Structure 1
Amino acid sequence: MPRWRIPLRAPVVLAAAGLLLAGCANPSTGSADDDPTKPVTIKFWHGWSASGEVEAINDSIARFEKLHPNIHVQSTGNVTDATLNQALRAGGDEAPDVVSSFTTNNVGQFCDSGMWADLDPFMKKTGLDKDKTFPKSLLDYTSYDGNQCALPLLADAFGMYYNKDAFKEAGITHPPKTMSEFVADSRKLTKRSGNTVKRVGFMPNFRFYQNSPDRLFAQWGPTYFDKDGTSRLAKEPASYEFFKTAKKLMDAQGGYNALERFRTSFGDEMSNQNAFLTGKVAMHLDGEWRGLMLNDDKAKFDWGVAPLPVPDDQVEKYGRGYLTGTVAGIAHSSKHQNAAWELLRYLTADTDQVVKFANAIHNVPSTKAALTSPKLDADPTFRTFLDIAKNKYSQVLPPSTNGGMYVVQLQDFSYTEEAGKVPNLKSGLQRLDKLIDADTLQSQN
């Protein structure tokens, strides 16, 4: 499925599948002794499945093969992390050479298990300076513990879509920049008929569409782990401010129960019954792809895009957002690693290729040069997300050896907390830290 269609709970499946990978102490050994100028066929596995996206990746491969006529690429799409991990465990001639994943949370497993090859030797050999080529935030989520086993292959940035007509009706002149403005505007934009909610300013419930708690939490710039790798959410001041703000958003619009009842009336996220598209939500956390969908569905109101608000004491960081994306690497078991590197380098670091691919599937480009290319889509709403991606304060999730399990645990805790079932937030966060640390320890054994 396309990256933006990954369900909110996908990390559960991926993290469980990752246990297959984490337990592999002796991955199949490949070879970097091949001559990339000789005729060879390599296999590339990726997760794209929508027709337009598959067409875009196939066009990318065709451009590569034109530049490298000796290298033939067999492309396989719609591949999940679970399938990929099983193939890498098995190794052999049927295993892929170049691999990709939509799940940045699993990079820690990919690197720590040894299943994805260290790319630093390839970059050194071919003169690719990763620090000059890729934004630091994207390098952060493609490496783990000093091992650069992946490179970014386009990115996603999250911001806020807002209904300009609803803003005008409510007398609001600009999108909120601070959390206090966010709460006040949400209250003004909420419409009721008696006890029934007709429209909310912002739906804060963590089960709603893209509202995984880590995405809004990023606006505080939290630190998830201490230097020794232990979870520190109970020690992180931002944790308390985040949940306090989430409750303020709830209370300003009728409370958890009313909002949860209203949420269950929403249509499917990817359909023409999307709650923002149908006017039931006036401000909406989402990624750069939503603009293209709003245009395709011919939204019946004027809409705009802005960065999500920041805490009142961090106004200078306004413009930040949550970043994630596709990652790609070379299978450790590949016996054609130099040829595989040629494909990987082209897909991730060639400026024209990155720009063409980004424009084709409406994702954020993942190199510094591509982000400033005049050939990029000039749509101003899309460029808002480019600015979020370039913002030095934007945040990515830290990699962990147990993949995205800590994000799943944060989600589960947040569902309970927003429902008012956590009597003491500090004690609850302390229990959450212990649970995350226990799972991390188990994945290392």
Structure 2
Amino acid sequence: MPRWRLPTCASAALAAAGLLLSGCANPSVGSANDDPTKPVTLKFWHGWAAPGEVEAVNASIERFERLHPHIEVESTGNVTDATINQALRAGGDKAPDVVSSFTTNNVGQYCDSGMWVDLDPFLRKTGIDKREVFPKTLLDYTSYQGNQCALPLLADAYGMYYNKDAFKEAGIERPPRTMSEFKRAAKKLTVRSGKDSYERVGYMPNFRLYQGSPDRLFAQWGPRYFDADGHARLAEEPATYDFLKTSRQLADAQGGFDDLEKFRLTFGDEMSNQNAFLTGKLAMHLDGEWRGLMLDEAKADFDWGVAPLPVPDDQKDTYGRGFITGTVAGIAHSSKHQNAAWELVKFLTTNTNQVVDFANDIHNVPSTYAALKSPRLDADPRFRTFFRILESKHSKALPPSTNGGAYVVSLQDFSYSFEAGHVSDLRAGLRKLDDQIDADTLQSKS
């Protein structure tokens, strides 16, 4: 299932809650002096909630307990980051020992505050070289300023689903690879049903659509959000201008933002059988690897494929890249059983068979090199497209920040205004956006 793009209000609330972390965490409360061979009960909190996902988590725990019969794991699902943060600030016997999060944006806060313990000492004492186990992009979003306070627990890679039947009808032989090809294909695939309505659009560039948050597509440019000193530099980044202008050109090629927005409002819920790609209203669609399983379960009545998203014309050599995120796991600073907790984190994140089984069960991308090469993985070539996107050296994740996802929310809000035509001076608007991000970062450190 997807790592949800949080609505602005929820993101802002979590970001605001995150501002409390720097002053409230007490890393000295817990202990790494426990004997992991002694009987113990660990509390594991996670965010999975769908019945199939919970079943897969429980199966993972059963496999762990068979290997470690002296360690019992009490699993609690459907837990939000806000709830975890409150529990870790409070500490005590009711707080979790092992935690996981879908929100990689908050890793900077977890590491900087000490709320999640640094895992490098545990990796070293068990002889695990993290650079040989995990792809670099995943290590980037699980650490902050040298503190590896989390490890990847499966990943999400974003690519482009496309309707092969619509492509054949339009005479398009293969998925577009550059932004120029993307615009031409989108226009050719668009079918009007009247002056201001559609039967189908080639690609919906609207930033409010499903997983279409601007940071997803922006990753195709390989942008740098911050400079070496941590200051926002979107106004200085040439890719920002090209990205926003390209998104507008995609809209204009298919009738313009107003008509597309009106059509978007007719779409069904993202996770239902009324999803716009499933119902044929979209010929190309940005989404994550989980969508394929949902299309199969819904018995889509058209032939579909998966390809990497197109890249800028002047970066053709980066084709195959995509946006990367995923679930992360760590050890609570307040846990008095940190060595036993490490045994669970180590099993969930580095045991090849476990990572493969879990990836197959919930249709997420494996997060270790060894698991990605396992013959036991789901052999569907469409699913495996996301493996190649994950392994691309050009793929990008969002950089961690001490203010969590606040800077992503700011980018979303600005992008909404831009696409609707409410930004008259793009350069001035981006400078103001940088100032806002820097002010939010400064506040989070005060």
Q: TM-score if structure 2 supplies the norm length?
A: 0.98
Q: Secondary structure at the match of 2:19?
A: helix
Aligned counterparts, 1:384-395, within 5 A? 384-395=385-396
- Equivalent in the alignment of 1:207: 208
Identity of paired residues, percent?
Answer: 74
Report what 2:38 is aligned to: 38
Where in structure 1 do 4 or more consecutive aligned residues deviate above 6 Å? none
* 1:119 alignment counterpart: 119
Q: Distance in 1 between matches of 2:90 and 2:149?
A: 19
Q: Which residue of 1 aligns with 2:428?
A: 427
Give 1:336's aligned residue: 337
In structure 1, C-alpha distance between the alignment counterparts of 2:36 and 2:257, rounded to whole Å? 59
Shift of the 376–400 alpha-carbon distance from structure 1 to 2, 3 Å rule, reads same
Taking the aligned partners of 1:25 and 1:57, their CA distance within structure 2 comes to 28
Q: For residue 79 of structure 1, what is the aligned residue in structure 2?
A: 79
Q: Compared with structure 1, are the counterparts of its residues 38 and 25 closer, same or farther at alpha carbon in structure 2 (3 Å cutoff)?
A: closer
Q: Does the CA-based 8 Å contact 2:201-2:282 persist in structure 1?
A: yes
Q: RMSD value over aligned CA atoms?
A: 1.0
3-state DSSP of counterpart to 2:267:
coil
Deviation of 1:3 (Å): 4.1
Instruction: Report if aligned partners of 2:219, 2:322 keep a CA contact under 8 Å in 1.
Output: yes
Retained in 1: the 8 A contact 2:25–2:115? no
Question: Displacement of 1:25 after TM fit?
Answer: 5.1
Q: Tell me, what secondary structure is at the counterpart of 1:122?
A: helix
User: In the alignment, what sits opposite 1:24?
Assistant: 24
TM-score (ref. length: structure 1): 0.98
Contact kept, 8 Å, 1:8 with 1:212, in 2: the verdict is: no
Equivalent residue letter for 2:440: D
Distance 1:29 1:49, change over 3 A: same
Partner of 2:148: 148
2:367 & 2:321 partners in 1: Cα distance? 16
Length, aligned pairs only: 444
Residue 13 of structure 1 deviates from its aligned partner by: 3.2
Is the 1:3–1:48 Cα contact (8 Å) retained in structure 2? Answer: no
Amino acid at match of 1:54: V
- 1:349-389 deviations in whole A, cap 9, x for unaligned? 00010000000000000011001111110011100001101
1:244-301 CA distance string (max 9 Å, x none) = 1001101000001000000001010011100001111100000000000001111111
Paired residues of 1:20 and 1:85 also in contact (CA < 8 A): no
Partner of 1:179: 179
* Residue identity in the other structure for 2:326: G
Letter of the 2:185 partner, please give it. D
Name the CA distance, whole Å, in 2 between partners of 1:324 and 1:18: 19
Q: Report the AA paired with residue 11 of structure 1.
A: S
> Contact between 1:28 and 1:91, CA under 8 Å: does it hold in 2?
no
Tell me, yes or no, if the aligned pair for 1:43 and 1:96 is still in contact at 8 Å.
yes
User: Distance in 1 between the 2:7 and 2:406 partners?
Assistant: 13
- Structure 2 CA distance, aligned partners of 1:361 and 1:247? 35
In structure 2, how many angstroms separate the alpha carbons of the residues matched to 1:282 and 1:211? 15
User: What SS does structure 2 have at the residue aligned with 1:23?
Assistant: helix
| Corresponding residue for residue 108 of structure 1 | 108
In structure 2, relative to structure 1, the CA distance for the partners of 1:109 and 1:27 (3 Å cut) is same
CA displacement at 1:21 relative to structure 2: 2.0
Gaps of 5+ in 2: none
